[in-house]
Amino acid sequence: MSPVIGVLGGMGPAATADFYAKLVAATPAARDQDHLRVLIWSDPTIPDRTEALLRGGPDPTPALVDGARRLLGAGAELIVVPCNTAHAFLDEVVAQTGARILHMVDAVAQRIAAQRPPTVGLLATAGTISAGLYQDRLGRAGIAVATPTNDEQERHVNAAIAAVKAGQDARALIEPAARALADRGAQLLIAGCTELPIALAGITLPAPVLDPTQVLAEAAVAAATAA
C-alpha cells in the first residue's frame, strides 16, 4: 500500500483545506479506494512564522515538532507542510523527529529551474522573503527573483494574506502587487504563501502564476504512488 501522508497544517486552516482539495484532485483515482491515505493535523495555534523570523516572536519550532510527532505517532510515513514560511524551520523539525518531509520550496524550485525563466516574481510573506527560501535555491540555478517594494508588500501582499486568513475576498488587494512584478519584467509569478493561490484565484495577469500548493500536491502524489 502507498505510504500514509501526514499534513502538518493549520498555517492557516484555509490553506490546509486548499492543499487537501488539490491533493485529491491530483490523485489518479476512479473510486474511493484509489485515493491516498491522509492524516491531517491542523494546528492554528502554531506561532506566527514571520513574527519569529523578523521580530523575535515566539519560536514555532516546538509546535511544529509536536505536530510532526503526532502525525508520526498516528502512522504518517511522509509529511507535507502547506506553509512556505514554515520551511525556514523544518531542518530542526527533521533533526528532532527524523520525519521524512517533502520540501515544498525545493519542489517548486526544481519545477522552475526546468523552465528556466530569466526572472520570476515572488509574492510571499515578509518572513519567506527575508529567509531567502526561494532566492537561494533559484539563484543557484541562475534565475533572478524580483520581490515587491516595501510599500507593495505591506499594502497589498501582507494585507491580502491577512484577508484570506480572515475569510475575506483578497483579489483587489493582491492584484496590484502581482501586476507590478510582471510590469518590472517577471516572466513567472510564484504565489509563495499558501494563502495567495486562494487570493489570486480568478485573476487574469500578464504573467503566469505558479501555485506551490499545487506543486506540493503533485509531488506528494508522485512520491506516494512511486513507493
Please give the average per-residue pLDDT across 162-185, as a whole number. 98
Task: Name which of 111, 104, 113, 121 is nearest 138 in CA terms.
Answer: 113
The band of 65, judged by pLDDT with boundaries at 50, 70 and 90, is very high
Catalytic residue among 83, 157, 160, 215: 83
Q: Above pLDDT 70, what percent of the chain?
A: 100
Distance CA 181, CA 122 (A): 8
**What are the residues whose beta carbons fall under 8 Å from the beta carbon of 56, sequence distance 6 or more?**
none
DSSP state of 101: E
The band of 163, judged by pLDDT with boundaries at 50, 70 and 90, is very high
Distance CA 19, CA 15 (A): 6
**Is 72 considered catalytic here?**
no
The band of 182, judged by pLDDT with boundaries at 50, 70 and 90, is very high
Catalytic residue among 193, 196, 200, 219: 193
- Report helix, strand or coil for 48: coil
Classify the C-alpha dihedral 223-224-226-227 as positive or negative. positive
Q: Please state the three-class secondary structure of 117-186 as a single string.
A: CCEEEEECCHHHHHHCHHHHHHHHCCCEEECCCHHHHHHHHHHHHHHHHCCCCCHHHHHHHHHHHHHCCC
The overall average pLDDT reported for the chain is 97
Asked if residue 227 has pLDDT above 80, the reply is no
Q: Are 102 and 220 in contact (CB under 8 A)?
A: yes
pLDDT digits (tens, 9 = 90+) for 28-56: 999 999 999 999 999 999 999 999 999 99
Residue-range domains of the chain with CATH: 5-104+214-226 (3.40.50.1860), 105-211 (3.40.50.1860)
Query: pLDDT at position 32, please?
Result: 98
Asked if residue 211 has pLDDT above 90, the reply is yes
The band of 1, judged by pLDDT with boundaries at 50, 70 and 90, is confident
pLDDT digits (tens, 9 = 90+) for 105-161: 999 999 999 999 999 999 999 999 999 999 999 999 999 999 999 999 999 999 999
Cell of 77: 510515513
Query: pLDDT at position 97, please?
Result: 98
**Is 174 considered catalytic here?**
no
